[in-house]
Structure 1
C-alpha cells in the first residue's frame, strides 16, 4: 500500500537543556565515584525513561531525605530544594551533591538578596511543583507568597507595597507570565523585578520554536512527561499559536493514530528533560506509517554548558 506523504516539522531547539544534561551527568559521575547505591531526592529530572535508566545503574529515588541512610551519597534534583534539606544533610554528616540547575540557583540567590534588602517576595509559579517548593523554601515561611494567575494578584495580601519584589519559576509560559507581571506592576507600581528574566533560556527558546512551527502544522506532538512543567507549557503554546491538535506523549506508543488520520503536516518538539532517543522513536513511528519528508524549524542555536560540582571532579 502506498504511504501518504507527510511533512514532518522538527523544532530546534528541542529536548535536553544544559541544566538537565548536567543533572544526569552528576548522578552518573556519583555512581562512578562512590559506587551503587547513590540516593536521589526526588526525580533528578521529570522523565520516566531517564529516571528508569539511572535506576538500572544503581540510583535509588526517594521523596524525602529521611528515606536516605547516613552512609550513602545523596543528590538533590535539578529543580532545587528548600534550604532546610542541605542543612539536614550536613547535620547528619552525609555526602551530598546539589544538582540544582544553575539558573534555578540564580533565582534562589535573587530571592535571598531581596530578603536581605527587606523586601517581601512574590513568586510566580505552580503550587506544589518541586522548583516552586525549593525557591519558596529559601526564605522563612510567609516571606514568599505564591501567585499562579493574574486573578491571584488581586487578592494577594502583602505587608508593604513599597517593599516588594517578585521572582518566577524558570519553566513557565513566557506569555502567561508576562500577563501576571503586568497585573503585579499595575497593582504594585514599585515592585522590584529580576535584573534578567527568570524564565530560563531553554524554556524561552523551545516556546519560540513552537510558535514558529505551530501555524505550519495540522497537528503537533510534544515529547515529554506529564509532570514536566516546561513540556506541558509547550503543548499550551502550540495550541495558542494556531495548531488545532497539540498533545503531550511520553513515548511513540502513546500516539493516538486515529486522531491523526488525514493529516499532511506534523510538528514535533520535546521538553527540556526528554532525551533525543525518545524523539527519534516518535519520528521513526511516523516513518513507518507515512512517506515522511523532514523540515527543521530553527529559531535559536544553543551552546550552553554547565560544569558539574567540584566534588565529582576530584578523585575519590
Structure 2
C-alpha cells in the first residue's frame, strides 16, 4: 500500500487591513456606475487603479483604457480620470475638446493638490516628496506652473537642494513608505528649520495601515507574500517594509507569479495585498498554499478601517 506524502506544515498569517482602500473602491465604483448610466464604451485615462485583474474585468464590461485624451472621441460617453489624479493641462485639453469627463481622483490625492496650491498662493517654494514618473506625482506637479514644485525622492536629493530664499513647504505622495518618508522629512527639517509641514500627514491612512500590519507580521514569520502590481507604489512599499524587518519578501501579481522555490523549508508566511489588489487574488494564493502545505491560518489585525468616499457629483446627480 502506498501513502500520499504528508504535506509540510505552514503557518499563514493574514495581514489586516489589506487590499482595497476607500479610494480604490470609489474609483472602481465610478467606472461601473458610469457604465450603468451611460452604457459602453466608457473611456478611462490611464489604469483606473494599478491592477491588471481589475483592469481586465472592466475591459470585459466595455471600458476602453487610453493614455492620451486624443484617443477619446467627443460625444456622450464619459472619459474618466484615474484615482491617481491628473495635471491641470489634461483638464484644460478635455475642456477644449468638449469631452464629457468624470474625475475619479482619490480625495486624499486631491487634498495634496489643494495643499500645494495653497502654498503656491502664499508664495512658498514647494518640495514634493515622491517618486519620479509616478502618475500621482505627475498630477501633483501639474497643478502648478512649471518650476513651482521641486521633487525629492531621497535624503541625497534633499542635500542637493538650493538654500531657501524665502518660505518653503513640503507635501508628499500619498503611497510612500512611512519610514523612508520620515527620514526625508527629518532631513528637510534639518536643512530648513522653518519649513511648513502638512497640517495632517499626506501619506494616506490605507498606506500607513497596510505597512504597519506587514511590519508587525514580518517580525514573526520567515517569509512575506505581497499581492500587487509591479507598478503599484503602495504594493512595492509593502515588500520593502517586510525586507526592512529582515524578512524575505516577494511581490506577486497573482498566484502564478509565486516563487515556490523560495518557500521551500519555510514554516511561516505572512500574506498581504496592496490597496489596489482585489481579495480574490489573496484567496487564490491561500488555495494554492493549501495544495502544497498543511496550512493553519490566523489573522493579525493592527487597525480597523471604516472610511468611504462619495461618488463624484456628476454621477450622483445623474443617478
Normalising TM by the smaller chain, what interval?
over 0.9
Which whole-Å CA distance do the structure 2 matches of 1:156 and 1:49 have between them? Answer: 40
- Aligned counterpart in structure 2 of residue 233 of structure 1, from 234, 237, 240: 237
| Structure 2 equivalent of residue 297 of structure 1 | 300
For residue 48 of structure 2, give the secondary structure of its aligned residue in structure 1.
coil
Structure 1 unmatched runs, 5+ = none
Match of residue 59 from structure 2: 55
1:169 matches 2:185: no
Describe the superposition over 1:161-197 as per-residue Cα deviations: whole angstroms up to 9, x where unpaired.
Answer: x311100000000000011101111111111010000
The 3-state SS of whatever aligns with 1:60 is strand
Aligned length in residues: 314
Cα displacement string for residues 144-163 of structure 1 (whole angstroms, at most 9, x for unaligned residues): 00000000011123662x31
2:195 paired with 1:191: yes
Distance in 2 between the 1:191 and 1:67 partners? 42
TM, length-normalised to structure 2? 0.97
Q: Counterpart in 1 of 2:122?
A: 117
Q: Is 1:255–2:258 an aligned residue pair?
A: yes
**Structure 1 residues 113 and 104: alpha-carbon distance in aligned structure 2, compared to 1, 3 A threshold:** same
| Pairing 1:1-316 to 2, within 5 Å after superposition | 1-71=5-75, 72-157=77-162, 160=165, 162-243=166-247, 245-315=248-318
Q: After superposition, what is the alpha-carbon deviation per residue over 1:217-272, rounded to whole angstroms, capped at 9, x for unaligned?
A: 111100000000000000000011131x1010011111111111111101100000
Structure 1 position 11, deviation (Å): 0.1
Shift of the 92–39 alpha-carbon distance from structure 1 to 2, 3 Å rule, reads same
On the 8 A contact 2:164/2:192 being kept in 1, the answer is no
What's the TM-score once normalised by structure 1's chain length? 0.98
Deviations 1:12-38 (A, max 9, x none): 000000000000010001111111111
* CA distance in 1: counterparts of 2:124 and 2:9, whole angstroms: 58
Across the aligned residues of Structure 1 and Structure 2, the Cα RMSD in angstroms comes to 1.0
Structure 2 unmatched ranges of 5 or more = none
For residues 183 and 24 of structure 1, the distance between their equivalents in structure 2, rounded to whole angstroms, comes to 37
